Structure 1
Amino acid sequence: MTRLLRFIPLLLLALPLIEIALFILVGRAIGVLPTLGLVILAVVVGGFVLRQQGLGVLNRMRTNMQTGTLPGQTLFDGMLLALAAVLLIIPGFLGDFVAILLLLPPVRAWLYKTLTRNITVVQTTTSYRSASPSDATPPHINGPGTIDLDDDDWQRK
């Protein structure tokens, strides 16, 4: 893993060079105006994907929270869809290719399964715990969801 980390600066330097080379190759193959048209089309599609998929992910997260299921895969999908939209908005054919792959649900599912293979998700809940076992209920609480305050404990703004 540490060997891979050494190559990150080299990769960050190589990516713009690869994008420039792809612009030149595509420009030679189809011409300058169609190449620019593809770049503009990718920006428009990226903005549309960001808007549509973002709202869809928010709705799926809301549904997951209402049903009480963990929204892990939904959050991961949302993150990858946002990354795909950003890659489409940034000019470049390599980024567009990666973005198109990330837009495919089987690719996102495979990435999620691969990255979470060795991760165990533990669901926890929050609850009140008394400092001493003999004190079953904290002071000023009269039943579930009710907090009894004295006149000095609150103020109206």
Structure 2
Amino acid sequence: MRYILQLLLLLFILVPIIEIGVFIQVGDILGLGTTLFIVVITAVVGVNLLKRQGFKAWRDIQMSMAQGQIPALEMASAAQLLFAGGLLLTPGFVTDFIGFSLMIPEVRRTIAKQLMRRWQNKASGFSQSSHFHDGSEFNSYDNHSSAQRRQGRTLEGEYEERSE
């Protein structure tokens, strides 16, 4: 968690510096008016693309759920679209490039698969204990090899009532 916070702080500092540098370079080449016009146009086009892609992502989630499947990739795609929308509304050429890249379904699918593979590897061997508000507890234990876990969706565990 500390690593993620440090990375976010670094990005929070570096991204504006990079964007300012790119603005200066583009402004020197195209002029201030044209540069500002391009920034506004990319935001408008980005919002329209986001709207279309967002509706498609919502339909994909609904179709997946209607077929009885867990819409994991579709949800990851929708989250990336949300992030892309924020980037496209942020003034700048670098953030616009990243935002428009995330509008490409194949890019989102590739990133989602990589993230899910990473989360699945971290979750391997995970043991969880959940306490509910009524004092009961649910424990899930991992007694299977990782190959067996990937094949099925069986959850084994034990439930214990505790009185206070």
Taking structure 1 as the reference length, the TM-score comes to 0.69
CA distance in 1, matches of 2:53, 2:110: 19
Q: How does 1:17-56 map to 2 (within 5 A)?
A: 17-56=17-56
In the alignment, is the contact (CA less than 8 A) between 2:61 and 2:74 conserved in 1?
yes
Correspondence for 1:10: 10
In structure 1, stretches of 5+ residues that fail to align are 126-130, 132-157
CA distance in 1, matches of 2:62, 2:8: 37
Tell which deviates more after alignment, 39-48 or 49-58: 49-58
> What's the CA shift for 1:56?
1.4
Correspondence for 1:149: none
Q: How does 1:92-111 map to 2 (within 5 A)?
A: 92-111=92-111
Pair 124,66 (structure 1): closer, same or farther in 2 beyond 3 Å: farther
In the alignment, is the contact (CA less than 8 A) between 2:73 and 2:112 conserved in 1?
yes
CA distance in 1, matches of 2:154, 2:71: 14
> What's the CA shift for 1:62?
1.1
Per-residue CA deviations over 1:25-50 (Å, capped at 9, x if unaligned) read 11111111211111011110122123
CA distance in 1, matches of 2:3, 2:56: 39
* 1:117 aligned counterpart, secondary structure: helix
Taking structure 2 as the reference length, the TM-score comes to 0.67
Bigger share in strand: 2
> What's the CA shift for 1:96?
0.5
Q: How does 1:120-131 map to 2 (within 5 A)?
A: none
Pair 66,110 (structure 1): closer, same or farther in 2 beyond 3 Å: same
In the alignment, is the contact (CA less than 8 A) between 2:85 and 2:99 conserved in 1?
yes
In structure 2, stretches of 5+ residues that fail to align are 124-149, 156-160
Pair 7,58 (structure 1): closer, same or farther in 2 beyond 3 Å: closer
Tell which deviates more after alignment, 115-124 or 63-72: 115-124
Write the letter of the residue equivalent to 2:86: V
Write the letter of the residue equivalent to 1:105: P
Aligned-residue sequence identity (percent) comes to: 33
CA distance in 2, matches of 1:46, 1:62: 24
In the alignment, is the contact (CA less than 8 A) between 1:57 and 1:77 conserved in 2?
yes
CA distance in 2, matches of 1:3, 1:80: 21
Pair 4,52 (structure 1): closer, same or farther in 2 beyond 3 Å: closer
